Amino acid sequence: MAVAPAIRTAEIIAVGSELLARQRIDTNSLFLAERLQELGIELRRKHVVGDHPAELRDTIADAIARVDLVITTGGLGPTDDDLTREAVAAVLGRRLAVDPEVLAIVAARFERRGVPMPSVNRRQAEVIEGARWLPNPNGTAPGQVVDTGDRLIVLLPGPPREMQPMFLASVVPVLAARASGRQVRRRTVRTTGFSESQVEEIAQPIYSRFAAGVVPIDTTVLASPGLVELHLSGAAEDVDALEGVLDRASAELVAALGDAVFTTDERSLEEVVGAELAARQLMIAAAESCTGGLLLQRLTDIPGSSAWVLGGVVAYANAVKVEALGVGEDTLAAHGAVSEAVARAMAEGVRRRLGADVGVGITGVAGPGGGSDEKPVGTVWIAVAAGDTHARRFLFPGDRQMIRQFAASAALNMVRRAIGAKVPAPDR
């Protein structure tokens, strides 16, 4: 029996005039790019094309001439603008015919909703001659796979919540059986508290060495306010050897970056801090000025966070710092609102008043106005009260939103470090 040739290369075609308009982006290809990489299939090109029959046929025909696998997303709806079925059939010179089984499924879907099937929806039951149709549990349009012997053409619906489950359930098994044998594996190392260049300085000598190894490891560095992450990946037929090298590379990076690493399992900083608070049965409260509730919002974004978050005070006005947190008016007058003394008083005040184990105080200049030579925009004082009180001054770069995100992340990191040590009971 002949063995089907291996699938090594791919192109993706996103179909729909709306994807050429402003403010719309093809996100399906991100999902597909990642899955193809895992399968060891090289994505050569991505295209976006509008609902024009000739444009669409040309794009499909050109791609089929170049690569082993062509995936289309979109254009499977019931209207005259949905042209993908017709275009693929025309390019392959195959007929398109209503499949009675698919028609029954489409009709049943309308019946369940208690509405008669519009006649246009018959189009969605049209299957390309020789194609296998793919069930769509989350929508009307089935997908299709055409195997020409040396090429696979896969037609998927456009909505991500229909496309993704269909791809995973019906397409991945086909591709896995036909992929070349190289598999991709990954590791992620997330750090906080270091800048991108500080992380690079420590990490680069390590990952450069692994990049030059027998099983080469590719490393990319991604930075956002308060987070620098290293993505390690490699592709090999010998998966055990690959996993071993990735484990060694990851372990060396973790050892070199030390305390800056907060996770190797893709959790967010707030998830890690929440889990550490929960493990120690500690309750946290925060007093926020310049971050205006952002730290509490991030902490309470985690489901189940009521097990470790009591709440807090957004003390945007100085009067609120005095009344709700007990910050001394003399302290505010002597040091100004953005000062170590006020940050400490806020952290200790919210801890005491709310009866928390850990109190956080954040006060700073988020800008764009309000900066001075002594306290420029980006200056933030953060204090964490957990028995002892620690305070630190930061100068964050960027705009208002970035400074606020940096400050919330820095506060989470200070909490993470503070609760590493034993936390005594608060004075309630």
Residues that bind a copy of itself (CB under 8 A): 19-25, 27, 29-30, 33-34, 37, 43-50, 52, 55, 59, 62, 220, 222, 283, 285-286, 288, 291-297, 299-301, 303-306, 309-317, 319-320, 323-324, 353-355, 367-369, 400-401, 404
Task: Give min distance, CB of 129 to a copy of itself, in A.
Answer: 28
Q: How far is the CB of 13 from a copy of itself (least distance, A)?
A: 10
Calculate ∠ Cα 250-251-257, nearest 5°: 90
The answer to whether the beta carbons of residues 336 and 352 sit under 8 Å apart is no
**Judged by CB, which is closer to a copy of itself: 111, or 323?**
323
309 token code pair: 């978050």
Q: CA–CA separation, 190 vs 268, rounded Å? A: 9
Closest separation in Å from C-beta 303 to a copy of itself: 5
CB of 27 to a copy of itself, least distance (A): 7
In angstroms, the CA 254 to CA 263 distance is 9
Shortest CB 379 distance to a copy of itself, Å:
16
User: Of 126 and 191, which has the nearer Cβ to a copy of itself?
Assistant: 191
- Strand blocks (E) in 327-378: 358-364
Residues near 147 by Cβ (< 8 Å), separated by ≥ 6? 4, 130, 132
Residue closest to 107 by CA, chosen among 115, 156, 81, 143: 115
Nearest distance from residue 232's CB to a copy of itself, in Å? 13
Tell the smallest beta-carbon distance from residue 135 to a copy of itself (Å): 26
Closer CB to a copy of itself, residue 283 or residue 419? 283
3-class secondary structure, 285: strand
Minimal distance in Å, beta carbon 142 to a copy of itself?
26
CA contacts within 13 A on the Cβ side of 44: 15
Find all residues with CB under 8 Å of 424, minimum gap 6, and list them: 387
- For residue 167 the two structure tokens come to 């791809």
Instruction: Kindly tell me which of 20 and 279 has the beta carbon lying closer to a copy of itself.
Output: 20
Q: Count of alpha carbons within 13 Å of 318, Cβ hemisphere only? A: 12
Residue type (1 letter), 1: M
Q: Residue 197: enclosing H or E segment and its boundaries?
A: helix 196-211
> Nearest CA to 42 among 212, 148, 175, 239?
175
Residue placing its CB nearer to a copy of itself in the complex, 285 or 380? 285
Angle at 222 between CA 219 and CA 226, to 5 degrees: 135
Distance CA 82, CA 120 (A): 11
Is 78 in contact with 121 (CB distance < 8 Å)?
Answer: yes
H or E segment at 337?
none
- For a copy of itself, the closer of residues 218 and 276 by Cβ is 218
In the complex with a copy of itself, the residue whose CB is nearer, 76 or 313, is 313
CB of 407 to a copy of itself, least distance (A): 12
Identity of the residue, 30 or 176, whose beta carbon is nearer to a copy of itself in the bound complex: 30
Closer Cβ to a copy of itself, 52 or 94, answer by number:
52
